[in-house]
Amino acid sequence: MAGSKPTLKPTEAELSLLNILWKIGPATVKQVHLTVSETQKIGYTTVLKILQIMHEKTLVVRDETNRAHVYAPADSQVQTQTSLLKDLVTKAFGGSTSKLVMRAIGDSTTKEEINDIRQMLDRLEQESKQ
Amino acid sequence: MAGSKPTLKPTEAELSLLNILWKIGPATVKQVHLTVSETQKIGYTTVLKILQIMHEKTLVVRDETNRAHVYAPADSQVQTQTSLLKDLVTKAFGGSTSKLVMRAIGDSTTKEEINDIRQMLDRLEQESKQ
DNA sequence: GATCTTATACGAATCTAATCGTATCTTGCT
DNA sequence: AGCAAGATACGATTAGATTCGTATAAGATC
């Protein structure tokens, strides 16, 4: 579409804040800082600054209605995961998704996870037969 | 093991040089520069510098026997791919490999690739039954 | 051995990410 | 109006990645 952004790659710190927003939904800096502080020591203004930068980059949208701005991810978790995967496929797997998948499966997957994957393949097969 | 390094994550530029080394085997700066120049414009001393930094980080090993040093990856492509995948699983998929795999499969995989993956699952199943 | 070629080493500039301290602004309350 | 609380904005610092120009060193050649 004309005018749409090419989905830029979040940095590591940005991704960790996005994870929180996907989890708890639209939130103020205070809420994000509180949540992220559960697992890592980080200053309030650092979180604020990162969210501001993400806003400039349009990685998040911001509701400025109230004094405490409310931030929400601009892209869905699925879109972002897809974009990160595509990037890794390109840069580390010579563009081959199946190579990535096979490496991922081959390494450290539990039996349950393998079953999940198999079921999804079955589902895909079903759909493609229609 | 005592003394072994935790396999650190290569940067983007470093990964692109590693890809070349995995492809063409141990090589001099000249050879690496020549190869990388096929796809991107980059100065000779830039390649040299990056390889030197990678050597400091022990991402590559260096044979200094001859005047033109010969560089080789310190870790295999498989090890590095595994490490990068693990990193992505942790940071973008909440630690779930199967979530990553399902996302990767669901997105943009050709029928041939799906077959490859299915065959690998079959193979895994066979092995686990022994 | 002087010089030409071709390598590495070094240092600097630029850019981005990440961090946080301080300044400023807004709002509700007295 | 003035103040206190709590929010954003701004600027600076640090660290790492990337780039490359220049200096230096090591061989080959005449």
Which pLDDT value is given to residue B46? 98
Q: How far is A36 from chain B (nearest CA, A)?
A: 14
Share above pLDDT 90 across residues of chain B, in percent, rounded to a whole number: 72
ipTM of the complex: 0.91
Strands ordered across the beta sheet of A70-73 = A27-28, A70-73, A60-63
Q: What tokens were used for B68?
A: 């033109």
Which pLDDT value is given to residue A33? 98
A121 touches chain B (CB under 8 A): yes
For residue B50, how many C-alpha atoms fall within 13 Å in the half-sphere facing its CB? 21
Note the pLDDT tens digit of each residue in B62-105: 999 999 999 999 999 999 999 999 999 999 999 999 899 989 98
Residues B121, A114: contact at Cβ < 8 Å? yes
CATH of domain B12-73: 1.10.10.10
User: Among chain B residues 45 through 74, which have CB within 7 angstroms of nucleic chain C?
Assistant: 45, 48-49, 52, 67-69
AA letter at A38: E
Residues B121, A118: contact at Cβ < 8 Å? yes
Using a CB-CB cut-off of 8 Å, the residues of chain A touching B84 are: 88, 92
The domains of chain A are located at: 12-73, 77-129
Over chain A (130 residues), what is each successive 10-residue block's mean pLDDT? 80 98 98 97 98 98 97 98 97 94 80 80 73
How far, in Å, CA of B44 to CA of B15, rounded? 17
Q: Model pTM?
A: 0.91
Strands ordered across the beta sheet of B27-28 = B27-28, B70-73, B60-63
